[in-house]
Amino acid sequence: MTEIATLDRARIQELFDLRGAYLARSGGGYQDDPYPAWHRLREQAAVHPGTLHELTGIGEPLMFAGLPFPDRPHFTAFSWAACDAAYRDAEVFASSPEPVDLVGGPSAVLNSMLSMGGTEHRRYRALVQPSFVPNRAQWWIRNWIEQTVQLLIDGFVDDGRAELNVDFCAAIPVLTITGSFGVPVDQALDIRAALSQPEKVIEIIRPIVAARRESPGDDLISVLTQAETTDENGVRHRLSDAEIYSFSLLLLAAGSGTTWKQMGSMITILLQRPDVLQAVRDDRALLRPAIEESLRWLPTDPMFARYVTRDVEFHGVHLPKGAVLHLCLGAANRDPARWDRPDEYDIARPLKPSFAFGGGAHVCLGMHVARAEIRVAINALLDRLPNLRLDPDAEPPRFVGMYERGATAIPVLFG
């Protein structure tokens, strides 16, 4: 992994700038704070007709999970109770508008476990979950995360300054995931850039899958090729190549698309609060509640969608069969019915689960890996960069984006 130093910084900037063309279709150019509007909407009603961005005041068409589907009626839930009820009722609020077809359908992010339901989802998740349970976090840290983090810091530790979003946060998840696939560093950014063209990604992964079926090693693709479960009827199940391809695409899109934003937001939140940063530096036990509070306070993807399978009365609103219900997780995570002073970032508040990683049967599979990446990264910054602080002469970071929220550039000084 010593090739990390050769990564094309300009290309990382292009792929991971929230305001750039790559993320424009999900509202990367949105500059305002949406939370005041979401608070007003939640106070008015738990559920409103319309899409989240339209209700927030954005007139331009945007794309994200559950969008655009112009021929379907759209509704948005803003309260914790409404989002929680939708997550708990997967029969009425399905994760996909159409059944998943991994045999005859294309390998794609949405044609994957993300969109499965019922028995199919439980079977598939049982095959892939063993590598993502909490006690496997050390496996990820030892094999990929720790080395990636340290080598990235090596690249700027002697400079006295850095831009942490591009030089640090953006690279960690994509290098962790591609490293777990056995993909060399020089192809990592090619894979990230090709996510909108899944066949290009599969061309890179296909020979790795074939090789691991013949000779497994200590990596994720090996685990997936060897995974096996037995169902209640005694039937043994293993993952097909197509299932591995779709899961790999999902992991790349979800992991490299969200963790870096959450990490950047977390670092920005601490840098904007030097007293909290110092408290965490002095007592690393505070890092866990600091991370959990950042997940609640500013989730990177503040909305996901569910598809209504039958007519239903839901929190005072009639939802017709075929409608899309958008779950505004950002608003739910700041619902005063669940949290006191919800707009305050407070690492001392009692820990409660938030919707930062979704909920229900589809709660994010990679959340423990994401937490490990953020924890290892911030610990390493605090260990190796004394007097870490925002650069007072540079433009301060801001939180931007609509459906993918995160920080702009994070210029820092240290030493």
* CA 17/CA 24 separation, integer angstroms: 10
The pLDDT of residue 190 is 85
How much is the pLDDT for 233?
76
- What is the mean pLDDT of each successive set of 10 residues along the chain, which is 415 residues long? 66 71 82 97 98 96 93 98 96 85 58 66 77 87 93 92 91 89 84 82 92 93 87 80 87 82 96 98 98 97 96 98 98 98 97 93 87 97 98 96 94 97
User: 191, 170 in Cβ contact below 8 A?
Assistant: no
pLDDT reported for residue 19? 67
Closest CA to 333 of 292, 378, 375: 292
In this predicted structure, what is the pLDDT of residue 161? Answer: 96
Distance of alpha carbon 107 from alpha carbon 320, whole angstroms:
30
CB atoms within 10 A of CB 386: 9
What pLDDT sits at residue 3? 63
| Per-residue pLDDT at 250 | 83
For 208, the token pair is 């790795």
C-alpha radius of gyration, the chain, whole number: 21
Asked if 308 and 66 count as a contact pair (C-beta separation under 8 A), the reply is no
Q: Letter for the amino acid at 350?
A: P
Tokens 């079977």 -> residue: 123
Q: How far apart are CA 28 and CA 30, in angstroms?
A: 6
Query: In this structure, how many other beta carbons lie within 10 angstroms of the beta carbon of residue 398?
Result: 12
**Structure confidence at residue 46 (pLDDT):** 98
State the CB neighbour count (10 A cutoff) for residue 153: 18
pLDDT at position 129, please? 81
* Structure tokens given for 321: 């069969």
At residue 246, the pLDDT reads: 85
pTM of the predicted model over 0.95: no
Give the position of tokens 């010593």: 2
Alpha-carbon distance values, 232 to 34, 90, 227, 237, 239 (Å): 47, 21, 17, 11, 17
Closest CA to 178 of 404, 1, 23: 1
Report residue 71: phi and psi, to 5°.
-90, 0
Q: What three-state secondary structure class fits 415? A: coil
Among the CATH numbers 1.10.630.10, 3.40.50.920, 3.30.60.50, 3.40.50.150, which is that of 2-413?
Answer: 1.10.630.10
- In the prediction, which pLDDT does 108 show? 57
Q: Where are the domains of the chain?
A: 2-413
